[in-house]
Amino acid sequence: MTVQVRAEGPSRRNARRRRRIGEHLWAYGLLAPVIVILGVFKIFPAFYAFYISLFRWDIIQGAFRGLGNYGDILYENPTRAEAFWRSLSTTFTYGLFTVPLEMGLALVVAFLLFGKLRGRGVYRTLYYLPYVTSTVAAAVIFNWLFHPQYGIANAILGLVGVGPQKWYDEPRGLFELAASAAGVALPDWAAGPSLALVGICAFSIWHYFGYQVIIFLAGLGNISNEYYEAARLDGASERQVFRLITLPLLSPTTFFVFTIATIGVLREFNAFYILTNGGPLDTTRTTGLLVFKTFYQQGQLGLGSAVAFLLALAILAFTLTQQRVLASRVTYE
């Protein structure tokens, strides 16, 4: 072989060069469709969104406003600013109530499902089923389960002596309602998420937790058995094994699920659109819905783009912070 390489003449080098050029042509040829489509419908629009956000743009392009739209949304225009900050707070409240419950449930279920278990496949199939059903159909069902008059949710509440609720039509806060039932009046800031938002949280948990169960199961399967054997040899109790082995070694998976779940929560649109469309009294208008309202229902494309851009920034900032803070606590095998 070495002899051949040393004897490599100009023609052979040319042949190799030709082959390398050929390989490049092939590669970019194969990638061309994807590059074009992502470029036109995803990457270019991302930049173009920023451009739009710099203009007054009511259906058609108007005057250049610089960062004026952003100013309006953040502080200058009281109505817009109030709507924006409120939507952001609604979005984060929604996440705060959904993600931990969803992940906790998924983790416990995955842990129970893991290992030898009859009917494991059946459970797994069932838990994942809501995730593949469309939000519209699922929301139709939930609207009915939580119906103020005919819903089973109120029937169950009745069993424990709680009066009927309006659920997706109820703007009052969860804590406010609980306190007023006990005869205590709470200040506004302590009212908690509206009952409508709580209903959407319940829907989201039902809809998404199966996806997380599958990922947690895969993560559990990735932990080598040696750790468990070693721990048992050392006489560790089951609880110790869970706390000292399973949880730390599962942390990369937990981290992944957390990232996916938060991004999902920040972007959720369908459930809100179908279940409440922002109401009652705007208590479920997340930032995603505010974008939709501003641009599609009010025809304010410039302002809508600015809100969308801020939402994108919030998602990005949140993801990066999360990577920074949490990544250092993740234990890799």
Enumerate residues 169-188 that contact another protein by CB under 8 A: none
| Closer CB to another protein, 6 or 116, in the complex | 116
Of 286, 299, 315, the C-alpha closest to 84 is 286
Cα 131 to Cα 165: distance, rounded to the nearest angstrom: 27
Tokens found for residue 120: 């494991």
User: Any contact of residue 161 with another protein (CB under 8 A)?
Assistant: no
Contact string 60-89 vs another protein (x = CB under 8 A) = x-----------------------------
CA distance 331 to 204: 29
Q: How far is the CB of 214 from another protein (least distance, A)?
A: 5
Integer Cα distance of 200 and 241 in angstroms: 36
Tokens matching residue 71: 């100013």
Does 58 help bind another protein (rule: CB under 8 A)? no
* Positions 205 through 244 that interact with another protein (CB under 8 A): 206, 210-211, 214-215, 217-219, 221-222
Of 2, 25, 87, give the one whose Cα is nearest residue 292. 87
User: Is 162 among the residues that bind another protein (CB under 8 A)?
Assistant: no
Q: Which of 94, 97, 127, 208 binds another protein (CB under 8 A)?
A: 127
| Interface with another protein, residue 250, by CB under 8 A | no
Give me the least distance between CB of 184 and another protein, in Å please: 30
34 near another protein (CB under 8 A): yes
**Residues 152, 184, 230, 244: which binds another protein (CB under 8 A)?**
152
Measured distance between the N- and C-terminal CA atoms of the chain, rounded to whole angstroms: 41
Three-state SS at 61: strand
What is the sign of the dihedral through the CA atoms of 253, 257, 258 and 259?
Answer: positive
Please identify which residue in 68, 95, 130, 173 interacts with another protein, judged by CB under 8 A.
130
**Toward another protein, which CB reaches closer, 15 or 316?**
316
Return the percent helix, strand and coil in the chain, to nearest 5: 75, 5, 20
Structure tokens of 158? Answer: 């009745």
132 near another protein, rule: CB under 8 A = yes
Query: Considering only residues 278-317, where is the footprint of another protein by CB under 8 A?
Result: 288, 291-292, 295-296, 301, 304-305, 308-309, 311-312, 315-316
